[in-house]
C-alpha cells in the first residue's frame, strides 16, 4: 500500500524489488499528480480516493475506488471521509503489525513550521465541513500521525506517550471558529 503519492519515480526499482504497490490511497485531489498514472501503469496499483474529488482526480487517472463513507476496506484500512480541505478529503487509520495505529491525515491537519497544529483551511476549503471533520478525528487514538502537508519539514509525528491528541486537534480547530 502507498499512502499519498511520490514526486518522482526514483525509488520505483526498489519498490518493485520489495513487492510493488497494489493499492494507492490519496487523501485529496492535490496528490493526483503525474506519478499516480506512473504508479498505476508500472505496478497495476488500484487507486482509492474520496468520491468528492473524483472529477479532479480522473483528469490524471480515470477509474478507481471512490470512497464516500466510513468503513474498514478489504485491505484493513479504516476509511474516514473528512471533507473540508477539499470535498473528497479522506483520512486513513491503519493498524501496524505490532499494534500501533497510524493516522494518515493528508492536509486535513498538519504541523506548521513552529510545531503548532493547523487545519488545511485554504480559500477553496469549506470551513464548517473541515471543523466537523476535525472534531471527528479528535475522537481517534492514533500512535503516529502522517500528514502530506509538512511546512515545517516534518510530516510524521510519533504520538506514543502523548495523552492529548484531542488537544492538538483543538489547536488546529481554534482558528476556524474565529
pLDDT below 70 — which residues of the chain? none
Question: Which domains, and CATH codes, for the chain?
Answer: 2-177 (3.60.15.10)
Amino acid 152: pLDDT: 81
| E-only strand ranges, the chain | 2-3, 23-25, 46-50, 65-67, 71-72, 78-81, 90-95, 101-106, 109-111, 117-119, 144-147, 156-158
- Predicted confidence (pLDDT) per residue in 21-51, tens digit: 999 999 999 999 999 999 999 999 999 999 9
What per-residue string of b and e applies to 6-37 under the rule 16 or more CB within 10 Å gives b? beeeeebeebeeeeebebbbbbbbbbbeebbe
Amino acid 162: pLDDT: 81
Amino acid 153: pLDDT: 86
Amino acid 75: pLDDT: 97
The share of the chain scoring above pLDDT 90, in percent, equals 90
Amino acid 67: pLDDT: 97
Amino acid 80: pLDDT: 98
> What pTM was estimated for this model as a whole?
0.95
Amino acid at each position: 500500500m502507498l499512502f499519498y503519492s511520490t514526486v518522482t519515480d526514483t525509488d520505483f526499482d526498489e519498490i518493485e524489488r520489495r513487492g510493488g504497490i497494489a493499492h494507492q490511497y490519496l487523501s485529496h485531489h492535490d496528490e493526483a499528480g503525474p506519478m499516480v498514472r506512473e504508479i498505476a501503469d508500472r505496478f497495476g496499483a488500484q487507486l482509492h480516493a474520496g468520491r468528492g474529488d473524483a472529477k479532479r482526480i480522473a483528469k490524471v487517472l480515470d477509474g478507481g475506488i471512490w470512497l464516500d463513507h466510513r468503513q474498514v476496506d478489504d485491505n484493513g484500512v479504516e476509511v474516514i471521509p473528512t471533507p473540508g480541505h477539499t470535498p473528497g478529503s479522506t483520512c486513513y487509520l491503519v493498524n501496524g503489525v505490532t499494534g500501533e495505529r497510524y493516522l494518515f491525515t493528508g492536509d486535513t491537519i498538519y504541523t506548521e513550521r513552529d510545531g503548532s497544529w493547523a487545519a488545511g483551511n485554504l480559500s477553496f476549503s469549506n470551513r464548517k465541513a473541515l471543523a466537523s471533520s476535525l472534531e471527528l478525528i479528535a475522537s481517534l487514538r492514533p500512535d503516529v500521525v502522517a500528514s502530506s502537508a509538512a511546512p515545517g519539514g516534518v510530516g510524521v509525528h510519533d504520538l506514543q506517550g502523548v495523552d492529548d491528541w484531542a488537544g492538538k486537534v483543538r489547536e488546529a480547530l481554534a482558528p476556524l471558529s474565529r
